[in-house]
Chains A and B, each alone.
Chain A
Amino acid sequence: MIRYLLAPLLLALATALSALALPAQATAAWDLGQLMQALAGNGGGRVRFTETRHLALLDAPLVATGELVYVAPARLERHTETPVRETMVLDGDTLSLDREGRSHTLKLRDYPEAAALIESIRATLAGDRKTLERTYALSLSGSATQWALDLLPSDPAVAKVVLRIRVTGNRGMVRGVEIQQADGDRSVMRIEPPAR
């Protein structure tokens, strides 16, 4: 059970973070190659986020806010401030969750599907299009000032959990990550521009 559920949340975390501190590109044309190049130059940074979860079970969406931190090459942090303080850190192969004074640590290799996803995310961070395309079909739409990258899982294990991931942005900035889950639930993360 746990292994299927872990995947999208890691993905949400990592995809959002992958967009941090992208170098702004002045080029007029905007294609997948350029996006990947921009991603490859990713250094790291800190942004605020607002995540809204739409669950079929609930009458109203759940909202969480906080900060995301990316430290190249392999450390991703999600510090939730509301509704409860908690910290989730992915460092290399270790995922740890601190919540209400309790700490849980998972090893990604114990969750093979999640590990496959994480490898894709690492590929996104590295601008490694080849590895990314092993798990997803990529399609980029829109313009350089308002683009959307759709990730459609081609790996059946990932597809069991995730229908589609849409990353949107403005030039080198990621502004949103939307995950459509296989069970119909949906989460939307809005990312504020990094304070410089």
Chain B
Amino acid sequence: MSVKVEASHDGIPHNKVMAMGLILALVSLYIAVAGAFAGYDYLAFFGGIAAVGALIWGNSTIKKLCSYGIGTGVPSAGMLAFGSGVIAMLFAAKLAVISPFLVPIAGLVIALIVGLVLGWISNSVLNMKIPVMTRSIAELAAVGSVALMGLTVVATGHVSFSEITAFNIDILGITVSFYDVSYIGAGIIAVSFMLGAIALQHPFNACLGPGEKQDRTNMLAIECGFLSMIVMAVISFAFVSLVAAWISLVIGLIGWFVSYKKYFALSKRDAAAWLDAKPFSDAEE
């Protein structure tokens, strides 16, 4: 077993952070999906809130996993999370033919299954012998899947496979589908993939060290989530109605600004104290 290096004593235990992040993410996703189901895309911005919720959860998981020396750095965990998350998320999106309300929960469950297999491989076959490995990788895959669903909702207003693979335009009452300018066909999913993966791995990677504090790391996760949301909101001008895109963009900007200010204040709080040292004074004085 590898040596555990504790980064900080958490004020809020991991399970509580996980529950809060998960509930925030799922509730927001369902609000957004319900909006899309009812025919309004004004609620697409809730996808960004879902991504933020998932990132808070994932950030806590990465912190727990990487407090053991895994030897490959924190960023690899973010890449693994989204690599497995994108596969689970796209399969869950396919299940929207049964019901769009199945997608968020199916994405979570499929990602957990894929993540459990990957975690078991890392721990047993690769002999990592880290007690939290299997659970953490399963959680990370779920985080990747949910965060990606959230960013997808911000960009396109939908989570169903038929909507994210086709750009539908009504011409004289006939719906024409264009596949090459869709969310997947145009490769925009790669943008959300990298935005999410970096937002997931960056906060703990940036804050780790002796002075790491849970609230500051979490605030950076929130900030990174809103930063990703801003980019997806800009992309969403191509897919959703103008009003919905503006709502997403403004909420993303406000969320980012507030969390950035808070993160800045917390960084100042945790910074090492500095002394106003004076130059050498003459011995005669």
Whether chain B is bound by chain A comes out as no
